[in-house]
């Protein structure tokens, strides 16, 4: 079988060497970190670990998550925890651990991209102590298949999806990812296959509570691109893609609505989601929204 084409890894991953969450970001990069992010690169911090206390380390077990759930979810805006398993004290300790990670991730992003500080919206925090490979789920929900992020019930509208990940595996297991083609090429491949949304469908879904807000034409496109990417076995096999392994004790930051990715294996991960209005970017022309609007020659929100 012919191997799928790949890019130079330097086109995809930018390495920054800091080892503390409160350490100033110093870099010899040819471009600022924010510009690399918006260009569709992964910012990779090989020595930026999230330290757990001995008491917290015991939560690195699938038993910390409700049966059938793949992660514990924490809402930093109100402290609500979902899918944590254990006593009331255990749940409170897991929430405190996740809040600390959320705070660290927030400060990291603000130091990487100071211009985002006032507009950055903190989304949910995720703790994932369950092995990602081997789960039997539908292709649309299978994160081991290349995709760009788009959420069926949470339309993004004019907001970007930015995420921070940290591998806290206590053994030697890396988080194994595939990183795919440039967004422009992904869009060129799949946009022609997207059918028009049903008239009145966005209003109906919002009214019935199916979506948390109105699904725009942009959201419709992104969700269909997401589903089509995951649904095509030939694309998963033949698309431009690179393997990358994020070892324990490392952190990475990426616009997951722009960078096609697939998490192939790994266990014990923290993740923080952020939303950023397109207008707050250093260069909003690089956003998937503006890329699609230029390609289709019309507004999408």
Name which of 299, 290, 228 is nearest 258 in CA terms: 290
1 part of a folded domain: no
Q: Which residue has the tokens 């507009």?
A: 119
96 part of a folded domain: yes
Q: Is the dihedral of CA 36, 37, 42, 48 positive or negative?
A: positive
Residue 1 reports pLDDT greater than 50? no
Distances (CA, A) of 264 to 7, 174, 179, 250: 19, 10, 11, 17
Q: Which residues pair with 269 in a beta bridge?
A: 128, 167
Higher local confidence (pLDDT), 202 or 185: 185
Residues 6 or more apart from 182 whose CB is under 8 A from it? Answer: 40
Higher local confidence (pLDDT), 50 or 202: 50
Tell me the pLDDT band of 233, cut-offs 50, 70 and 90: very high
3 part of a folded domain: no
Above pLDDT 90, what percent of the chain?
Answer: 86
Q: What is the pLDDT of residue 197?
A: 87
Our count of domains for the chain comes to: 1
**By mean pLDDT, which of 18-22, 114-118, 195-199, 248-252 is the weakest?**
195-199
CATH of the domain at 290: 2.60.120
Distances (CA, A) of 276 to 69, 105, 164, 165, 279: 27, 15, 13, 17, 8
Q: What is the pLDDT of residue 67?
A: 87
CA–CA separation, 76 and 125 (whole Å): 7
Residue 39 reports pLDDT greater than 70? yes
74 part of a folded domain: yes
Q: What is the pLDDT of residue 135?
A: 75
Tens-digit pLDDT profile for residues 120-161: 999 999 999 999 987 778 888 899 999 999 999 999 999 999
275 part of a folded domain: yes
301 part of a folded domain: no
Tens-digit pLDDT profile for residues 76-107: 999 999 999 999 999 999 999 999 999 999 99
Domain that holds residue 83: 10-296
289 part of a folded domain: yes
Higher local confidence (pLDDT), 75 or 1: 75
Q: Please answer whether residues 32 and 44 qualify as being in contact, where contact means their C-beta atoms are separated by less than 8 angstroms.
A: no
Name which of 90, 96, 87 is nearest 125 in CA terms: 96
Q: Please answer whether residues 132 and 268 qualify as being in contact, where contact means their C-beta atoms are separated by less than 8 angstroms.
A: no
Q: What is the pLDDT of residue 70?
A: 87
Q: What is the pLDDT of residue 165?
A: 98
Encoded tokens for 243? 């393997």
126 part of a folded domain: yes
Name which of 180, 178, 181 is nearest 266 in CA terms: 178
Residues 6 or more apart from 188 whose CB is under 8 A from it? Answer: 295
| Helix H or strand E segment including 193 | none
Tell me the pLDDT band of 2, cut-offs 50, 70 and 90: low
């Amino acid at each position: 079988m012919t191997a799928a084409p790949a890019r130079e890894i330097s086109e995809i991953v930018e390495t920054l060497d800091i080892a503390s969450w409160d350490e100033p970001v110093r870099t010899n990069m040819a471009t600022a970190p924010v510009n690399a992010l918006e260009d569709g690169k992964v910012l990779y911090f090989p020595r930026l670990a999230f330290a757990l206390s001995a008491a917290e380390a015991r939560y690195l077990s699938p038993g910390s998550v409700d049966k059938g759930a793949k992660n514990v979810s924490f809402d930093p805006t109100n402290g609500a925890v979902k899918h944590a398993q254990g006593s009331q004290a255990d749940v409170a300790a897991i929430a405190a651990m996740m809040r600390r990670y959320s705070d660290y991730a927030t400060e990291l992003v603000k130091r990487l991209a100071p211009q985002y500080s006032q507009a950055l919206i903190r989304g949910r925090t995720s703790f994932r102590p369950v092995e990602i490979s081997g789960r039997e789920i539908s292709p649309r929900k299978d994160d081991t298949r290349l995709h760009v992020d788009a959420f069926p019930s949470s339309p993004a509208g004019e907001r970007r999806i930015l995420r921070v990940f940290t591998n806290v595996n206590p053994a030697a297991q890396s988080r194994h990812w595939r990183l795919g083609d440039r967004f422009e090429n992904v869009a060129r491949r799949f946009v022609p296959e997207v059918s028009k949304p049903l008239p009145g469908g966005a209003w109906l879904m919002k009214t019935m509570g199916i979506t948390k807000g109105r699904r725009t034409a942009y959201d419709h496109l992104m969700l269909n691109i997401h589903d089509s990417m995951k649904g095509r076995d030939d694309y998963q096999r033949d698309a431009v893609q690179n393997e990358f392994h994020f070892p324990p004790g490392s952190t990475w930051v990426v616009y997951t609505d722009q960078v096609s990715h697939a998490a192939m294996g790994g266990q014990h991960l923290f993740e923080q989601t952020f939303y950023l209005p397109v207008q707050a970017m250093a260069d909003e022309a690089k956003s998937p929204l503006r890329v699609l609007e230029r390609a289709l020659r019309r507004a999408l929100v």
